[in-house]
Amino acid sequence: MLQQHLDEMSEDQRLMRNSCRAFVDDVILPFIRADWKREWSMTPGDRLPPAILEGAEQIGIRTLGAPEEFGGVELDPASEVQTFAIIAEEIARGDSGLADKLVQNWKVSVLLRHLAPRHLQEKWFPRLLSEPQFLLAHCLTEPRGASDRWLPYNAPEAAMTTRAVRDGDHWIINGRKQFISNGYDASLYVVYANTKPGSGMLQGTSSFLVPRNTPGLTVARCNETLGCRFMNNGELVFEDMRVPADHLLVESDSLSKAGVYFRPGKIIQAAKNLGVGVRAFEVASEYAQNYVQGGHILIKHQAVALRLADMACRIEAVRSLVMRAARAVDHKSPDADALCNMAKVYASEEIMEVATHCVELHGGNGMMLDFGVEKLFRDAAIFLHMDATTDISKFKIIKTMFPQTAGKYAGLEN
Ligand SMILES: Cc1cc2nc3c(=O)[nH]c(=O)nc-3n(C[C@H](O)[C@H](O)[C@H](O)COP(=O)(O)OP(=O)(O)OC[C@H]3O[C@@H](n4cnc5c(N)ncnc54)[C@H](O)[C@@H]3O)c2cc1C
């Protein structure tokens, strides 16, 4: 129940999902249970033992999306995003922060595969593949906000404040990025910067590949997040950072080209979110069948049974939408963009409800750190604003459907 049906998967997907499930059940969940204090270490590098990423490497899930010619696990293009969804869900069932850490490698690998010049692929993919602790990051958000970049307004005043200026055979970048997944410990960053002030951000934003040791790059802090704490979210400062001109990925229209990152990205977000919901149902249903209150195990109380049914319905509905949207991306359907946003926003709201039911069914235990269930509630909360807030995602959906009228309440042209 509540799992992706095995007979809906290809042989390769089934094998990968099974080895991932064994890794989660035998390694990840016991680690989290045995050492629940570890996520609260204020030394970010100490939180996740290196052996966990090495384990992910051994079962081949650390470098999904990297080209096969460099030793990566390139998936069948006809179902690549569906496979990402299946595996992302499974890892997040074990730990959502670990899933965040790994999927940045997949998503940025897809972007580099499509957009990086050959010499950069030849340099960086072998390093990604040979170093189990190697992480990738994707840096858009700035202190002045991210929502404007998700909206379709393209107004010059909403452009990025991080600036890149060409200087001979280098670009000089100044600015700041915040809330970046893997930002604290990545080895390689994709950085977006304004290269044409005065133009709309769709025409004036360029993307660069920036190695961690680039002069002028400072990792300013690790953000202490509410949930998904095994992914070290970071803040970066660029002060006259000199990036070689040949590390330019896309000049001027990098945001339009970033769809290769964002479409799979939103499916992966929704699938990780689903994994958190599936785990919440597992622990809640186990508790309800063992914990005795009022002389009976909880599930015998009808209100408890109804709550579990509500959780199950929401999880199945999310799964259906995520897989429909994943198929749309794999098949390059015209409605793929709207479906990705629907899957991401719907998953975030429904799984938040599922996690709320889960902690409520645990009563006081649901609020105790050492009991471990509250972690699912914290992890679920993170998804509401990852890759755009729920309001911005909903606006994007309706804007795709009614581009001429949606949101045009102001000004002379209404
Ligand atoms: C755990 C985590 C991981 C992340 N990882 C990354 C990453 O890897 N890379 C990256 O670039 N970013 C990342 N982000 C940033 C994330 O994409 C942004 O936080 C998100 O898009 C919201 O932007 P903001 O925080 O700047 O909020 P703001 O844009 O400041 O929004 C604040 C509020 O105002 C509303 N709002 C803003 N503008 C409008 C408008 N025009 N109309 C209506 N409402 C509006 C929003 O809906 C929201 O409710 C991450 C964030 C988190 C929490």
Walk along the chain (414 residues) and give the pLDDT tens digit of each residue: 688 788 889 999 999 999 999 999 999 999 999 999 999 999 999 999 999 999 999 999 999 999 999 988 889 999 999 999 999 999 999 999 999 999 999 999 999 999 999 999 999 999 999 999 999 999 999 997 778 777 767 888 888 999 999 999 999 999 999 999 999 999 999 999 999 999 988 999 999 999 999 999 999 999 999 999 999 999 999 999 999 999 999 999 999 999 889 999 999 999 999 999 999 999 999 999 999 998 999 999 999 999 999 999 999 999 999 999 999 999 999 999 999 999 999 999 999 999 999 999 999 999 999 999 999 999 999 999 999 999 999 999 999 999 888 877 655 554
Does ligand 1 lie within 6 Å of residue 154's CB atom? no
Does ligand 1 lie within 6 Å of residue 386's CB atom? yes
Distance 408 CA to ligand 1 centre (A): 22
How far is it, in rounded angstroms, from Cα 17 to Cα 50?
Answer: 22
Ligand 1 atom closest to Cα of 150?
21
Ligand 1 atom closest to Cα of 227?
1
| 3-state secondary structure (DSSP) of residue 231 | coil
How far is it, in rounded angstroms, from Cα 328 to Cα 380?
Answer: 25
For ligand 1, pick from 144, 149, 179, 201 the residue to mutate: most ligand atoms within 8 Å of CB: 179
Residues in a beta bridge with 241: 173
Whose Cα sits closest to atom 27 in ligand 1?
145
Whose Cα sits closest to atom 39 in ligand 1?
147
Ligand 1 atom closest to Cα of 391?
47
Distance 384 CA to ligand 1 centre (A): 10
How far is it, in rounded angstroms, from Cα 346 to Cα 348?
Answer: 5
**Residue 83: other Cβ atoms inside 10 A:** 23
pTM of the model: 0.96
| Residue that is written with structure tokens 């969940």 in the block | 29
Distance 145 CA to ligand 1 centre (A): 6
Does ligand 1 lie within 6 Å of residue 394's CB atom? no
Strands (E), 259-370: 292-293, 296-297
Does ligand 1 lie within 6 Å of residue 390's CB atom? no
Distance 340 CA to ligand 1 centre (A): 17
How far is it, in rounded angstroms, from Cα 72 to Cα 126?
Answer: 9
Give every CB contact of residue 7 below 8 A, 6+ residues apart in sequence.
none
Tokens standing for residue 259: 């769809």
